[in-house]
Amino acid sequence: MKQFILPLALIIAGHSASAQYKITSKHDVECTEIKNQERTGTCWSFATSSFLESEVKRTKKIDIDLSEMFSVRATYMNKAQNYILRQGKANYSEGSLSHDVINAVERVGLVPESVFSGKSEGVEVHNHSEMVSATKGMLDGLQKRKTLSPRWKVAMGAILDIYMGNAPETFQYDGKEYSPKSFAKFLGIKGSDYISLTSYTHHPFYRSFVLEIPDNYSNGSYQNVPMAELEKAVDNAIKNGFSVAWDGDVSEATFNHKEGLAILPKDAKRENLWSKPDVELTVTQELRQSTFESKSTTDDHLMHLVGIAYDNKGTKYYKIKNSWGASNTFEGYLYMSQAYFQLKTVGILLHKQAIPKDISKKFQ
């Protein structure tokens, strides 16, 4: 899989001589080509699979195209078990988080995209709406029974097989036979190497807690750090060749995938919003907390953070690989301003070695 690298200097809005919005890349991490999650809510797997592809490139110097849908299928099975055990008092939907992919790797392993596309025969576009309705209907029906036999898991697996195809038990890669678990071992992916971070004040800093967001069905824990240290961890990662899986809010009017920008200007109504950089909001820890508690910051989307750049006014941006296809100004990438990152980042996942030691030594 070849790496897609944007030109060093980028003129953003309008592509005209009068455009004054320029972004220059400063640090880049190698990543694989843009993909499209299509009509599914599986950004979490696309973002985290892309992250793992960069990890394999970093550690093994191997270009790999991983199957996002293999992790999705395993997660649907895990969600179904959770939903049954909690007697329907749990979230069962298309959404999940980065740690759910890491957990799936630990449970079932990884496979290449060429081995499992997640599309049944004759299907060209990912679309999980009917599949989720079918499985959710079955699970809700099972909740009405006083007792359950083990056969419900077989039935759940059969529905997933119909819509996604049969998951392989063994396969060939470069002339060798692997199981999904042995393939993950070959790629060097270990769940214990990765950690999730967040930054909210309703829990103590430098301790872990279960982040209270709907898609955290698996009760994943996040290490809590101050906002400045969350940003410092990301910057340290990128500058040292590590990428980051990002989870946050993309519902703002100033998140514009078509223009390739996520910004947080003081004046969001000015006419030249997408053609000229201007002063951005000052984000504080208190503002982060208030927007989270008021639900104006929610975990809408996950993406892959692969670089740092600066505009012609010196504002810092994070280069983001999205999973909505290559149809925007930057062929699938976008640039998120420092202020937007500070306010709208819900959580991140990264390699433990990417975190500065002066931060990680504070973890309890």
Residue 82 is among the residues annotated as catalytic for this protein: no
pLDDT tens digit sequence for 266-281: 999 998 999 889 999 9
Instruction: Quote the CA–CA distance of 45 and 37 in Å, as a whole number.
Output: 9
**b/e 299-331 (16+ beta carbons within 10 angstroms → b):** bbbbbbbbbbbbbeeebbbbbbbbbbeeebbbe
**pLDDT attached to residue 221:** 98
Instruction: Quote the CA–CA distance of 195 and 99 in Å, as a whole number.
Output: 8
Kindly list the structural domains of the chain, giving each domain's residue range(s) and its CATH number in brackets, ordered by start.
9-360 (3.90.70.10)
Catalytic annotation, pick one of 78, 224, 322, 328: 322
Instruction: Quote the CA–CA distance of 105 and 181 in Å, as a whole number.
Output: 8
Catalytic annotation, pick one of 301, 304, 328, 351: 301
The number of residues making up the chain comes to: 364
In sign, the C-alpha dihedral spanning 124, 125, 126, 129 is negative
Catalytic annotation, pick one of 31, 43, 304, 351: 43
**pLDDT attached to residue 331:** 94
pLDDT tens digit sequence for 129-161: 999 999 999 999 999 999 999 999 999 999 999
Residue 103 is among the residues annotated as catalytic for this protein: no
pLDDT tens digit sequence for 345-359: 999 999 999 999 999
Averaged over 188-194, what is the pLDDT?
A: 98
**pLDDT attached to residue 12:** 43
Residue 78 is among the residues annotated as catalytic for this protein: no
Q: Is 264 in a helix, a strand, or coil?
A: coil
**pLDDT attached to residue 20:** 63
